[in-house]
Structure 1
Amino acid sequence: MTILSFAAALALLSASGSALHDDPLTRPIPGNADWEKPQAPLKLHGDTYFVGTGGLSMVLIDSSDGLILIDGALPQTVAMTEASIRQLGFRVEDIRYILNTEAHYDHSGGLAALARDSGAEVITSPIGAAALRMGQADAHDPQASSVAAHPPVANARGIDDGESVRLGSAAVTAVFTPGHTPGSVSWTWKSCEGDACVNVVFASSLNAVASGGFTYRAHPDVTATLRASIDRMEALPCDLLISVHPDNSGGDVKIAALQAGATPNPFLDPSACRAYAERARGRLQARLDREAS
């Protein structure tokens, strides 16, 4: 798939934009402009493909018996996502499961439309599933006062920490990483190219972000939970990291390099999860220091 053909597909989507916005499940939710930046889909490794935008990661896993999609980005990026999936030669209707990292509209806003269009079941943590069904952040979320509502996801269900979603040759395991939201989940699986297999981590956000009157110093339980999630991320077997926001882990630079034909694969980095965790740990401490002053 060439960048030119992807641009042509986006032009067709733009031409039908007004019709898409009449759909209650794809009406735009304002956000960061980078979150809607077009990004051509590309193969990351084996049967793992990037189908997100320039600012929001989404991954498609091709099993021997259908597809697994991770995250939903924004309502207004659903058409872009579906175009990316088709550009790779797959069918949206073959998505069996959609996994979610966190019930914030930038990662879950498109889930309702994607689930409707594919018939897929949406899976996340029990706390996250309850928030998805309500279409709004959990009341104990540090950003609950400012995170926009999104279309409710009626068929969202929760699974246990450490439980795997299995489909054909794929087994994607839930790793609960709460703190940024109470129900945050990271996902891990093995991607193989012939006999060469790597551990892939799709990481939820670990950033200490809050709104309203919430402070981490006044909520030591949330702070401790986030620290534990950061430690857990650091310890994961991790050869290839995809963070929910690519620029939080250098993924934006890696995507550009991979798209340009860089070798070896820039995403193959066994230190990536440790670096991601260390960045999050530093951001948490910086926030605590600001709150103290």
Structure 2
Amino acid sequence: MSVRLAALAAVGTAVTACVAPQPPAPPSSASVVAAARQLAPPASEWTGACEDWDEWEKRASPFRVHGNTYHVGTCGITALLVAGPDGHVLIDTGTRNGSIIVLENIRLLGLRPENVTTVLTSHEHFDHVGGVWWVMQNTGARVITSPVAARVIESGSLDPLDPQNGVQPPMQAVEASLITALTPGQSIDLHGTRFTPLATPGHTPGALTWQWESCDNGECLTIVYADSLSPVSGDIYRFSDHPGYVQAYRDGLAELAALDCDILLTPHPSASSMRGKLLEGDLTSGMDCAAYAADRLERLEIRLANEAQDASQ
């Protein structure tokens, strides 16, 4: 385990597991959701506080991405809120401590975390879903994820086939009855928005990419939250020893490249140059899904070539 992973895992134990009973929250409404657009801080607050590849638990202001989609994560980890008149959807929670910032950012928008009904996930590592248990305790939300990620979130331990199994710290387990496993490609309608998950294994076996449409004053854009898809592993893992996994990795990249994709966001903001796009004032500019998939494929090919070279020595 790296020093950074060990430190974050240790800090996570400082967050109490006791959650005080919360009074029922007033339901969301169209007027509350509309007000959030006015309350959202400008994106310049995020870019002013954050650097590329910043710390995972560094506090950052929320900002509006488009329509009713908001970035509510930290400087180094993305969490997205899609607000609806009868409830909200949160995509990723960040780390255990990062999820506290996520819930505070939701409140800064004038929205109530208790009205988050659903948590969707990208990939099943602690830096992105380590706060699921905490968020669920404070919201009553359910989790919708892939079948593989569902088992990981339920157990708190990585899948044996995860390239980083044995490297990542464990997470707080979540009760199975609160987790729904969704078949990739099966769209779901939540609070007026249709979300479509795409299987994009590679970084983890259960990774998902999410696509949805966001409309704002008659302008409708397709947002894609693409998974990390980086070929990172523990020291002894070799992707070339798992040809079926590599093929699924390639297949997911090919599908990602073909997606409609006006705005690209990623679990680590810098992977899709989010800060640079914000500084330019246009999240539709720069890297799109096709370019991102090509970049990830190139990284995979380099990794496989390096493994082949090491094997020949």
TM-score bracket relative to the smaller structure: 0.7 to 0.9
Runs of 4+ in structure 1 off by over 3 angstroms are: none
Residue identity opposite 1:123 in structure 2: I
SS in 2 for 1:204: coil
Distance 1:22 1:282, change over 3 A: closer
The equivalent residue for 1:232 is 255
Residue identity opposite 1:124 in structure 2: T
The equivalent residue for 2:44 is none
Structure 1 position 286, deviation (Å): 1.1
Deviation by residue 1:222-270 (Cα, 9 ceiling, x = unmatched): 1111111111111111000111111111013234x2xxxx54xx21148
Task: Decide whether the 8 Å contact of 1:25 with 1:151 is kept in 2.
Answer: no
Structure 1 position 196, deviation (Å): 0.9
The equivalent residue for 1:279 is 295
Whether 1:220 and 2:236 are equivalent positions in the alignment is no
Whether 1:85 and 2:106 are equivalent positions in the alignment is yes
Percent identical: 33
Distance 1:271 1:74, change over 3 A: closer
Task: Decide whether the 8 Å contact of 2:273 with 2:287 is kept in 1.
Answer: no
Task: Decide whether the 8 Å contact of 2:91 with 2:119 is kept in 1.
Answer: yes
The equivalent residue for 2:140 is 119
Structure 1 position 25, deviation (Å): 8.2
Whether 1:35 and 2:51 are equivalent positions in the alignment is no
The equivalent residue for 1:21 is 14
Task: Decide whether the 8 Å contact of 2:120 with 2:143 is kept in 1.
Answer: yes
Cα-Cα RMSD: 2.0
> Please, which of 121, 127, 130 is the counterpart of residue 151 of structure 2?
130
Equivalences for residues 179-190 of structure 1 within 5 A: 179-190=202-213
Deviation by residue 1:66-99 (Cα, 9 ceiling, x = unmatched): 1000001100112211111011111000001000
Whether 1:105 and 2:105 are equivalent positions in the alignment is no
Task: Decide whether the 8 Å contact of 2:272 with 2:287 is kept in 1.
Answer: no
Structure 1 position 162, deviation (Å): 1.6
SS in 1 for 2:255: helix
Stretches of structure 1 lacking an aligned partner (at least 5 in a row): 1-17, 27-31
Residue identity opposite 2:213 in structure 1: K
Residue identity opposite 1:112 in structure 2: W
> Please, which of 111, 117, 139 is the counterpart of residue 96 of structure 1?
117
Q: Give the total of aligned pairs.
A: 264
Task: Decide whether the 8 Å contact of 1:104 with 1:136 is kept in 2.
Answer: no
Residue identity opposite 2:254 in structure 1: D
Whether 1:46 and 2:67 are equivalent positions in the alignment is yes
